Amino acid sequence: MATLAVEFTTSRMLQTVYGTSNIVWANVIGLVLLFLTLGYFLGGRLADRYPQPRLFYSLVALAGFSSVFFLLLTSVILRQAASALASVHVGAVVSSLVAVVLALAAPVTLLGCISPFAIRLGVRTVAEAGRVSGRIYAISTWGSLLGTYLPVLLTIPEAGSRLTAVIFGGVLLLMGLGGLWQSSPRLGLAGLLLPALLGPFVAAWTAGQIKEYPGQVFETESAYNYIQVIREEDCNYLLLNEGQAYHSFYCESGRVPRISVWSIMLAAPYFNEPAAVGGGPVQNLAVIGLAAGTIPKQFTQVFGPIPIDGIELDPEIVAAGRTYFALNEPNINVIVGDGRYELNQLDGRYDVITLDAYKVPYIPWHLTTREFFEEVKVHLSERGALAINVGRVPNDRRLVEAVTATLLTVFPTVHTIDVPGSLNSILVATVRPTAAGNVAANLALLPAGTDPLLVVAVQTAANNLVPTVASEVVFTDERAPVETMIDSIVIRFLLEEGPESLPSIGG
């Protein structure tokens, strides 16, 4: 239980700085397996040489102590790494990762020592070896289930990653001390020094914020994300996990400080023929990836209180949106759940559907497939348009081109807009065959008094259209190598451009 809890807690801590990529997860799992292997080897040797319960319980107590101490130390290291990442101080970020690796070595290796030692103490004759080892493996697997679900579903969302380390490490420490007291009261009494030593570190290292960014007004950990709200001047910005991109913003009085990915999505219906746009381009909207509500708020500002269904996976993000982003318009119906599932529970047909469900650097694979886009098309009106935010890097548009190819198996036309000053492209797929020139034509027909935000958004879209290129890769529910492609893009970008090319916060 403690081993899996350590693994999940470590991954959550790393997520706040290094993100949630497959590469990060592979490193966490690989390092845990490496140190467990070392622990199994050492534990087996110790058990054969010194098969004594007091040594076994000493290892249990030390494993619990080190799990708390080194995971809290990891949180301190990562707090410094977060500040370094915000200013793109690559050397500090890399050295912090090395420090985390070293910090993990002690607790995980000690945890690995316990299982072979337990089997050695439990087996008294060869005849009972199978029964005893089977029972220990069964209990161990049951503990693994608890260590998998309790941190993710209960302790991390409710208490945070640092207190989760204290809870699971503390339970292990108490179990070890209890066993020591039974096997050797003198050692058990001496073992009380461990929690006494640990107390000051727990008090010091669980206090304060997980990250300490200038202007930070809120942070929390949900079952899905580490969530931050940063305030700059009169605007609040939503950051998730490693915080290398804003996921929503809200400024007092509803002003929009700059044209962003979400603003350009306002132009999606203007790819239709001018005759189809006439009479009101958007009567309703569905948003997959609501975040704190920037997209529906801008659509409401421009098109009025049209009915909007907004789908967001993480309820804690919605709660932050209510508190810090004024997500309270009565026309916005917030739905908490998976984007694909919840869309298919809706009966309406929409003039526009937007998709912005990135968990940097990934877009969920099941929201990129031909079958999903067929489901989206069913929910679009005859003049409907789908707008998707897709990431890219300089000189590598593989993901954009693969999503384009997939869209073209369902929709007759796809348009590509490169968002200026970013590594994002907006793909607009239309139900009807459309032409890129429609955007400029509709821009010229906008009536006097049109909201300036809409004018600039449509103008930006028209000025940043690029040729639509489709690759030979088509994503399907059967095969959608989205993560593999993104991993390759990220690695190639880092090798060719270097980590210094990563954008800083807000870049």
CATH of the domain at 372: 3.40.50.150
Inside any domain, residue 214: no
pLDDT for position 316: 95
Average pLDDT, the chain: 88
The answer on 180 and 103 residing in a single domain is: yes
**Residue whose C-alpha is closest to residue 172's, from 110, 121, 116, 223:** 110
Q: Does residue 237 fall inside a structural domain?
A: no
Same domain, 61 and 184: yes
- Of 179, 205, 231, the residue that ends a domain is 205
pTM higher than 0.85 = no
- CA dist., res. 307 & res. 332, Å (int): 6
Q: Is the dihedral of CA 479, 485, 487, 488 positive or negative?
A: positive
> Which tens digits make up the pLDDT trace of 290-347?
999 999 999 999 999 999 999 999 999 999 999 999 999 999 999 999 999 999 999 9
> In 345-503, at which residue ranges do the beta strands (DSSP E only) sit?
350-355, 380-391, 413-418, 424-430, 465-466
Nearest Cα to Cα of residue 502 among 85, 44, 52: 85
Q: What is the pLDDT of residues 442-452, one digit of tens each?
A: 999 999 889 99
Query: Does the residue 230 lie in any domain?
Result: no
Total structural domains in the chain?
A: 2
Position 3, amino acid? T
Residue 292: its pLDDT value, please? 95
Alpha helices in 123-239 (DSSP H): 129-150, 156-159, 161-183, 185-191, 193-205
Together in a domain, 158 and 277: no
167 and 267 part of one domain: no
Written as one letter, the residue type at 183 is S
Buried b (16+ CB within 10 A) or exposed e, 127-166: eeeeebbeebeeeeeeebeebeebbbeebbbebbbbbbbb
Q: Which of 139, 174, 205 is the last residue in one of the domains?
A: 205
**Are 187 and 286 members of one domain?**
no
Q: Are 199 and 284 in the same domain?
A: no
**Backbone dihedral angles phi then psi of residue 210, each to the nearest 5 degrees:** -65, -45
Q: Are 264 and 197 found together in one domain? A: no
**Are residues 170 and 302 both part of a single domain?**
no
- Whether 506 is covered by a domain: the verdict is no
Query: Rounded distance, CA 112 to CA 213, Å?
Result: 37
Domain boundary among 205, 236, 265: 205
- pLDDT < 50 stretches in the chain: 87-89, 92, 504-507
- 289 part of a folded domain: yes
Q: Has residue 218 been placed in a domain?
A: no
Shared domain check, 419 and 487: yes
Q: Specify the pLDDT at position 414.
A: 98
Whether 401 maps to a domain, the answer reads yes
Coil, strand or helix: which one is 208?
Answer: coil
Domain that holds residue 494: 257-501
Phi–psi pair at 319, nearest 5 degrees: -60, -40
CATH of the domain at 141: 1.20.1250
Are residue 167 and residue 299 in the same domain, yes or no?
Answer: no
Tell me, yes or no, whether 303 lies in a domain: yes
Looking at the fold, whether 43 and 140 belong to one and the same domain comes out as yes
Residue the block writes with tokens 């292997």: 37
Under 8 Å between Cβ of 347 and 371: no
Check whether residue 165 and residue 279 sit in a common domain: no
Are residues 20 and 359 in contact, defined by beta-carbon separation less than 8 angstroms?
yes
